[in-house]
Amino acid sequence: MTEPVATEVGRDFIRDIIQADLDQAKYTEIVTRFPPEPNGYLHIGHAKSIALNFGIAQEFPGRCHLRFDDTNPVKEEQEYIDSIQADVHWLGYDWGKNLFFASDYFDRLYEWAEKLIRDGLAYVDDQTQEEIRLARGTLTEPGKNSPFRDRSVDENLDLFRRMKAGEFPNGARVLRAKIDMSAGNINLRDPVLYRILHAHHPRTGTKWSIYPSYDYAHGQSDAIEGITHSICTLEFEDHRPLYDWFIEKLPVPSKPHQYEMARLNLTYTLLSKRVLTQLVRDGHVAGWDDPRMPTVAGMRRRGVPPAALREFVKRIGVAKANSVVDVGMLEFCIREELNRTSQRRMGVLRPLKVVIENYPEGQTEELEAINHPDDPSAGTRKITFGRELYIEQDDFMENPPKKFFRLSPGNEVRLRYAYFVKCTGVIKNEAGEVVELRCTYDPATKGGNAPDGRKVKATMHWLPAATSVPAEIRIYNQLFSNPSPDASNFAADLNPQSLEILSNARIEASVAESNSTEPMQFERQGYFVRDKDSTPGKPVFSRTIGLRDTFAKEVAKG
Ligand code: ATP
Ligand code: MG
């Protein structure tokens, strides 16, 4: 793939509208909100919405609310409420005192529903869900009026109050707005405002036996909070006339305007809470924070820095038309940030033992290694050179093709920060696999340069056999092997090779001893972060991302 071109950032159609509104003195303060439903963990699509809404509140005079749209107690849990707050904070945003719940407005929403009934604008419908669905019509055919549509105000009020009192079983009746069953916009064909649900709500407990629909609660919640610019994704564009209808008919304290933007879609990724929930429930991944998940929690565990996500969201911008962003763009932002911020260490993913035959037995020496090539303040550290080392299996070939410059019999290479070494012998097991190399080193090349000026074509990472530490390293590939996975049959598109476990890897002792959760670069291998599955005897490291975009190249090669 080609590296994404840096685009002009910071301006988009929503910010333009806000600026124009401020210029015309329509508002003195801009109020936005991020309104998650607490029915799952946040994903990177939500990060786009968070960065936009909280970003606007930082750039303009204003504030951004965090509001939980907790209208469906069947799917919502405290765990999700907690994780969403943690994730927004981790992304670098803060709602201050402005934490709200749609459930805080249940009383007011109920009062307003009674008002609609009294004004002849809502009615209790006894039809089943299926009957309602069938009578709704299609894009080309009008719907049919419910036989219960012309109930008297008194009967409606009585039934609605009894719904609230818990007199009827789940699904027995609903409250519907009385708008127009032949409206071209299906959302206006007498939408459901309340349904009966005998369910425990995380915040209101068993107080309610009826719950408002999302469509009924959402706009009024915005109005109660004085939201000026209510930003949502494009699929709600057709709901706007309904939201405006409520705002017009109800004595709301303010009139928010809704603006729709494109959802974030990413190649090789599904950003739907329904799919993500199923991935977790069906055990396709190890939880919401599995490092292969596109969730904020998954990316955090994988070592993705929040600054990389903010940069990504800035680069993709905010548009009015849906599109699919190449996941390579996200990876580019992660690499760029980690290259800048992470310290260098050495790790050998697939170790091959090397014995330096002319290095005295029992002797060791400390060599100096640089922690960050572009940041001298990161300092240096010592690594121990000795007679027995490990190199990467891939860095040796017994019968190399022409352009293989790394280690092969007779060929000389540089071991990073150490010496030039030359391969003099190969030891194999019964299966004919190379299990050990014999090498010699040139003591005159200490530090990695030859006084006679001779050159080598490869510099390789390595670790001392005695003092390096065994570790498990987890390499992640795309969770889906299809660039546009099928959300309705996603299991078929799962990549069977999305997780590769290297259980015999080795890392520098200092890395193993440190409990740091900062990602670091293992030279020539990529960026790695300590995983919470580490035990005192066995550190586990996850690869956040490789150094280069090998994935896109593999795809291009076919
Ligand atoms: P999903 O469709 O993944 O199940 P949702 O949109 O129902 O998620 P909400 O909790 O309602 O999830 O989303 C909270 C906010 O995040 C909404 O304003 C929604 O528009 C926004 N959002 C959700 N997914 C995306 C996305 N892919 N790109 C941009 N914004 C998104
Ligand atoms: Mg939603």
Which secondary-structure segment (H or E) carries 472?
Answer: strand 469-476
Q: Tell which atom from ligand 1 comes closest to the C-alpha of 273.
A: 4
- Which own/partner contact pairs does 272-281 have at CB distance under 8 Å and 24+ positions apart? 272/487, 273/37, 273/39, 273/40, 273/43, 274/487, 275/487, 275/490, 276/40, 276/41, 276/43, 277/39, 277/40, 278/490, 279/479, 279/490
- Do residues 247 and 255 touch, judged by C-beta distance below 8 A? yes
Compute, in angstroms, the gap from residue 229 CA to the centroid of ligand 2. 17
Q: How far is the CA of 293 from the centre of ligand 2 (A)?
A: 19
How many angstroms is it from 362 CA to the middle of ligand 1?
Answer: 61
Query: Tokens standing for 521?
Result: 């670069």
From the CA of 38, which ligand is nearest?
1
Tell which one of 12, 14, 33, 46 to mutate to probe ligand 1, the residue whose CB is within 8 A of the most ligand atoms: 46
Strand partners, 390: 353, 463
How far away, in angstroms, is 316 Cα from ligand 2 center? 21
Give 334 Cα–ligand 2 centroid separation in angstroms. Answer: 27
Helix (H) or strand (E) holding 216, with range, is helix 214-225
Question: Which of 69, 218, 233, 265 has most ligand 1 atoms within 8 Å of CB, for mutation?
Answer: 233
- Specify the ligand 1 atom closest to the Cα of 265: 27
Q: Which domains does the chain have, with CATH numbers?
A: 1-9+29-97+262-341+469-558 (2.40.240.10), 345-467 (2.40.240.10)
pLDDT means over runs of 10, the chain (558 residues): 44 95 96 97 98 96 97 93 98 98 98 98 97 96 98 98 98 98 97 97 96 97 98 96 98 97 97 97 98 98 98 94 95 97 97 98 96 96 97 97 95 98 97 97 96 96 97 98 97 97 96 90 98 94 89 46
3-state secondary structure 319-342: CCCCEEECHHHHHHHHHHHHHHHC
Q: Which residues, including other chains, have CB under 8 Å from residue 75's CB and lie 6 or more apart?
A: 37, 39
Q: Quick check: is 136 catalytic?
A: no
Give residues (CB < 6 A) around ligand 1. Answer: 35-37, 45-46, 48-49, 232-233, 263-264, 271-274
Which residue out of 15, 75, 115, 263 is catalytically annotated?
263
Alpha helices in 69-105 (DSSP H): 78-91
Q: Which residue type occupies 265?
A: N
Test site for ligand 1: of 12, 44, 49, most ligand atoms within 8 A of the Cβ: 49
Q: How far is CA 176 from the centre of its chain?
A: 37
501 Cβ contact partners less than 8 Å away, ≥ 6 residues apart: 472, 473, 474, 475
Selecting among 151, 273, 300, 310, the annotated active-site residue is: 273
Predicted local confidence at residue 556, as pLDDT:
47
Instruction: Find residue 195's DSSP bridge partners.
Output: 174, 211
Distance 37 CA to ligand 1 centre (A): 8
- Beta strands 540-545 and 469-476 are parallel
The per-residue pLDDT for 551 is 45
Structural element, H or E, at residue 264: strand 264-266
Tell which residue, 475, 491, 481, has the closest CA to residue 526: 475
Confirm whether 273 is a catalytic residue. Answer: yes
Active site (annotated) includes residue 314: no
Nearest to 366 by CA among 378, 380, 350, 348: 380
- Ligand whose nearest atom lies closest to the CA of 278: 1
pTM of this structure: 0.93
> What percentage of the chain's residues is helix, strand, coil (to nearest 5)?
30, 25, 45
Q: Cα–Cα distance between 49 and 38 in angstroms, integer?
A: 15
